Amino acid sequence: MEKRIVIVGAGSTSFGPSILLDLYQSNILQGSTIVLHDINKHYLEIVFELTQAENKIHENKFTIERTVNRKEALEGADFVISSIEVGDRFKLWRQDYEIPRKHGSTQILGECGGPGGTMHAFRIIPPILEIVKDVDKICPNAFFINFSNPMARVCLAIKRTVPNLRFVGLCHQIADLNHHLPIMLSRNLDYLKLKPYGLNHFGFLMGLEDLSSGEDLMPDFNKVALDYFTQHEDRFQFSKLTFEIYKRFGYFPYVSDTHLGEYLQFGEEFTEKRDMIDWIDHTEKGGERTHNRIMRLYNRLNRGKYYKKGIFYKGTSGERAIPIIEAIITDKNSYESAINIPNDHIIDNLPQDLVIECPVIVNKNGVKGVKWGNLPRQIAALLRIEATIQDLCVEAILQNSKDLAITALAIDPNVGDFEIADNIFKEMKGLQEDFLPKFR
């Protein structure tokens, strides 16, 4: 089925090839035009040449285009898949982690939550809003898929800026739980219906069913979960903080200690500083390995020694963008367990002006959230604290307001002090001014 699919940030050697891998497994999308777009011409050209070689191996399954001109890329687009970052990601991430702690914050990690997550949002949201405003103007009927973090804040900013745009935010964090469930319950994952609800990187497993019988499997899960995950403890995944929250609040957080702790005042109490630094290092090294692999492939191509089968002949990335696009095109009514969308009366006791992570049904109309109703009070109370910070963070950007920016930092549970917030903002502004909004 011939569609025009635009990949924004295609020059990324981790993002571009992973989406292309999934595309080449799709028969439904055969004949489509794939547009590679990036502002980095050098890496865009590398990914384009590799994709051209793959396309030839696959008997020209797609028409491949590339351009550094965003408006040109978006013309006539049916789907836009975007994953961008600004600046040196890991240099900035280390600043997001280290500077707030230097001034007294108790935050961990600093990627999507805490004052570091707020600074990350200040940098990444403005360029994403320029992209979605172009989508809204040039191809208003296109379906937009965001992969950039901090996911919930980015998506909330999109919702407030282009309210008529059809979009979702995708994160693969649910895959950690998906890996363990079949082992825990001795059931095939394909026959399990997960019901996770909350915010991105801050969600809880609220329900679990057997797809064929409709049997409620939450009693089985709760009976074995704590013992199982204690035996399979992983400092980068489910560890002491996850176990403490599960015991205290009664519902399993499926997002890993590294992410969960970003939003909690007591996150530092149940995590180790060394683990957070090691996670940033681990993520950076993973990106370097992927980059080096793509560059080796590019060198083989230039030497005329490219693999005969190519690299896109089997497997998938595990991301859900292409399955969602296929489900929209074919009106599949498929169930996706953890998608970021506006809270349109899906969770009643959270702000409706919020982007939540929840199950959805995907068909020709796009995506529709599966209503839950009221979350348990203790869970909703936790999430509302972060919702308030996200609200201020996004409004600070939309209004270019320095006062709101500092207030968003100050009221964070891992700050709680205007002097600390002022000091964080001042030093980070000095380090990152080139990437930040012109706050007034």
Q: Among candidates 160, 141, 226, 237, which has minimal Cα distance to 398?
A: 160
Tell me how far apart the alpha carbons of residues 113 and 118 are, in angstroms, rounded to a whole number. 7
Active-site amino acid positions: 172
Name residue, tokens 């070689």: 53
For 183-199, give one letter per residue: b (16+ CB within 10 A) or e: ebbebeeeebbbbbbbb
β-pairing verdict for 166-169 and 355-363: unpaired
Give the 3-state secondary structure of the chain: CCCEEEEECCCCCCHHHHHHHHHCCCCCCCCCEEEEECCCHHHHHHHHHHHHHHHHHCCCCCEEEEECCHHHHHCCCCEEEECCCCCCHHHHHHHHHHHHHHCCCCCCCCCCCHHHHHHHHHHHHHHHHHHHHHHHHHCCCCEEEECCCCHHHHHHHHHHHCCCCEEEECCCCHHHHHHHHHHHHCCCHHHEEEEEEEECCEEEEEEEEECCCCCECHHHHHHHHHHHHHHCCCCCCCCHHHHHHHHHHCCEECCCHHHHHHHCCCHHHHCCHHHHHHHHHHHHHHHHHHHHHHHHHHHHHHCCCCCCCCCCCCCCCCCCHHHHHHHHHHCCCEEEEEEEEECCCCECCCCCCCEEEEEEEEECCEEEECCCECCCHHHHHHHHHHHHHHHHHHHHHHCCCHHHHHHHHHCCCCCCCHHHHHHHHHHHHHHHHHHCCCCC
Is the CB of residue 46 less than 8 Å from the CB of residue 10? no
